[in-house]
Amino acid sequence: MEYRILLVDDEVDILEFTRYNLVREGYKVYTAENGVEALRVAEECHPHLILLDRMMPVMDGAQTCRAIRQNPELKDTIVIFLSALGEEDQQLAGFDVGADDYLTKPIKMKLLISRIQAILKRIHTDEPAEQTSATPALEIDRESYTVTCNGQRMALPRKEFALLDLLASSPGKLISREEIYNQIWGSDVVVGDRTIDVHIRKLRQKIGEEHIVTVKGIGYRFEE
């Protein structure tokens, strides 16, 4: 199908160069030079994905993303920040206002296109298949420290269970590594840098790769 992408950036050269390359890849591309214009265009074209700059006149990227998330007609639209503001706190702020991903400038066009292609694979535009069972794919029993995944019940070690419970308690929300350390191990306990990665890997082996998404260098989020 022909995916619709909205590019939002006040730097016209970047806007046109990116638009040209995405059109070549077969996407239907719309553009806007500030947040106010972006909201108007988005309501008209209902894009599958919005590539959004952070620093813009009239309405900046964070304000624009908040407005997108508050619009029921755009609730399924994927929002990716593409910004020169690449510090960790800036990226966390981007996820806090509802972004699905955060990319930093400068970025090679081939890499940008590859990331967009990967993210758009998450979209299912067809009618949802009829559910054969009302049972959720993943159930967490906090009393017995067990998880039922696709009908299979399994017991988890306490740290793995606590980590999964923390992530699953806020689906779609990015949780930083620092918050995970503090919540699961406590601020007074010294653990190795790879401790979280080991526990995440074990969880993925048990519940599948699709539920826990890594945001490199920042943290993790849970996808239902």
pLDDT tens for each residue of the chain, 224 residues long: 689 999 999 999 999 999 999 999 999 999 999 999 999 999 999 999 999 999 998 899 999 999 999 998 898 899 999 988 878 888 888 888 888 888 888 889 998 998 888 888 766 544 344 444 444 577 888 777 788 887 788 887 888 888 898 898 888 888 888 888 888 877 655 555 677 888 888 888 888 888 888 888 788 888 87
Instruction: Give CA torsion, residues 177, 183, 185, 190, to 10 deg.
Output: 60
In angstroms, the first-to-last Cα distance of the chain is 25
The string of DSSP codes covering 19-38 is: HHHHHHTT-EEEEESSHHHH
Asked if 35 contacts 59 with a C-beta cutoff of 8 angstroms, the reply is yes
115-123 — which CB contacts under 8 Å span 24+ positions? Answer: 115/80, 116/5, 116/22, 116/49, 116/51, 116/80, 117/25, 119/49, 119/78, 119/80, 120/3, 120/48, 120/49, 120/78, 122/78, 123/3, 123/48, 123/76, 123/78
Beta strands 212-215; 78-83: pairing state: unpaired
Asked if 63 contacts 71 with a C-beta cutoff of 8 angstroms, the reply is no
**pTM higher than 0.85:** no
Can you tell me which residue has the tokens 């996407």? 27
